[in-house]
Amino acid sequence: MEEELLLVDRQSGEPRALSSAVLARAAKEAAEDVGAAPVAAPGSGSAPAPEDERFEKELHGQQIEFATQPHADMASLAADIVRWRTEAAQHAGDLGATVAALATSPLPASPSVNVGSRYQWMEEEFGLTTQEQLTCGCHVHVAVESDEEGVAVVDRIRPWLAVLVALSSNSPFWQGQDSQYSSYRSRVWGRWPMAGPTEIFGSAARYEEQVGAMVASGVLRDPGMVYFDARLSHRYPTVEIRVADVCLEATTTVLVAALARALVETAAREWRAGTPPLGHGVSLLRLAAWRAARSGLDDTLLDPLTMRPAASARVVDALLDHVTDALADAGDLALVREHMAGLLERGTGARVQRELLDRTGSLGAVVAECARRTLA
């Protein structure tokens, strides 16, 4: 799992460009921990590796990203997420700030692009799109056995990804205003010309051919800038699912992770059984993604099987039916049912944020409460 967190002032809730300072503190503490650790005896393996690499700089100074270790068990993944959220808050706290799992800032922000040749190139090439792209997402990596299996998975999970957008929706506000969307982050993210749903590739060769052609166009600097909703990771032997908002509650992150893994496993089984992917075109997939971003779980969604409007509860049930066998085989079925029931009861992060604003009348208070819930 990779989560991007917003760095906010502890008093006002306004975003603060502190990522470099937070990363420096994390690196210093990790180095001290390694220095204090006992030296490994010869033949017993190496000493512990520094863990500052868990945190990474992102596009803007007002955000920070962490990555968990790979996990097979959802309970250990949950503990890892809470740990790194807590450590990020501790490092930010030394600077009068904290972290909030918010996919966009409720309060007005003036994002500052981080220093670095890659980020500077993006700012020069994409202009205002880069400057305004202060959004926080959640990425799920799921291991696959080969690129061929990975592309088969990417082809088959396409219609279901919009449901993950709805479940994770946590960005109703933009520059101090209600966007009227549940996941406005996904709409802002869609400004990138290389982002969004994909056609059916059919083979790893065709996938690589398409990526190569996109890079050769000159619009992308390298394959790492292929921002498909789901892609083969250029760093790990995984399918990377990139559609979710960063989730307010850690339990929702775990829910998204479990569902993503089950989607990958279900798709791999379909591929091995010779079941073809659903043939929905990119235009319909874009409509489904828009509908999910607009509605969250509070209105209709598009049924992934038919691409016709359906109640959100019915679409969620369809997703669970689709992946039940994979969830059961992984031992995740009871956990997913529990976390899903909790999410449906309290509402998505978007609904929580709007209810907080209705109750307090203050976007600053919304940020403060969401920062507290980030660490719960």
For residue 26, what are its two tokens? 């994390």
Is the model's pLDDT at 30 over the cut of 80?
no
Sign of CA dihedral 222, 21, 103, 70: positive
Distance CA 46, CA 48 (A): 6
**Averaged confidence pLDDT in the chain:** 93
* 220-249 mean pLDDT: 96
Is the model's pLDDT at 40 over the cut of 70?
no
Q: What is the reported pLDDT for 185?
A: 98
Q: Beta strand pairing status for 227-228 and 195-196?
A: parallel
Is the model's pLDDT at 56 over the cut of 90?
no
Confidence grade of residue 32 (pLDDT, cut at 50, 70, 90): confident
Is the model's pLDDT at 308 over the cut of 50?
yes
CA-closest candidate to residue 88, choices 154, 162, 22: 22
Which amino acid, one-letter code, is at 265? E
Is the model's pLDDT at 39 over the cut of 90?
no
Is the model's pLDDT at 36 over the cut of 90?
no
Is the model's pLDDT at 42 over the cut of 60?
no
* Comparison of pLDDT for 207 and 44, the residue scoring more: 207
* Comparison of pLDDT for 43 and 267, the residue scoring more: 267
CA-closest candidate to residue 293, choices 163, 196, 199, 173: 163
* 247-266 mean pLDDT: 98
* 234-239 mean pLDDT: 94
CA-closest candidate to residue 262, choices 164, 147, 347: 164
CA-closest candidate to residue 71, choices 349, 263, 331, 278: 331
Distance CA 133, CA 115 (A): 15
Confidence grade of residue 54 (pLDDT, cut at 50, 70, 90): confident
DSSP letter for 52, please.
G
CB 55 within 8 A of CB 23: yes
The tens digit of pLDDT for each residue in 69-123 reads: 999 999 999 999 999 999 999 999 999 999 999 999 999 999 999 989 999 999 9
Give the start-to-end residue ranges of the domains of the chain.
Answer: 2-32+53-374
Distance CA 100, CA 106 (A): 11
Percent of the chain's residues with pLDDT above 70: 94
Phi, psi of 8 (to 5 degrees): -130, 150
Is the model's pLDDT at 203 over the cut of 90?
yes
* 342-353 mean pLDDT: 97
Confidence grade of residue 3 (pLDDT, cut at 50, 70, 90): very high
The tens digit of pLDDT for each residue in 110-138 reads: 999 998 999 999 999 999 999 999 999 99
Is the model's pLDDT at 336 over the cut of 80?
yes
Is the model's pLDDT at 33 over the cut of 90?
no
Is the model's pLDDT at 49 over the cut of 50?
no
- pTM confidence score: 0.93
∠ Cα 229 301 376 (to 5°): 70
CB 297 within 8 A of CB 316: yes
Which amino acid, one-letter code, is at 103? A
* Those residues with Cβ within 8 angstroms of residue 120's Cβ, 6 or more apart along the chain or in another chain: 113
For residue 38, what are its two tokens? 């006992």
Burial 144-167 (b: 16+ CB within 10 A, else e): beebebbbbbbbbbbbbbbbbbbb
* Comparison of pLDDT for 321 and 38, the residue scoring more: 321
Is the model's pLDDT at 47 over the cut of 50?
no
Domain 2-32+53-374 has CATH 3.30.590.20: yes
CB 160 within 8 A of CB 304: yes
The tens digit of pLDDT for each residue in 290-302 reads: 999 999 999 999 9
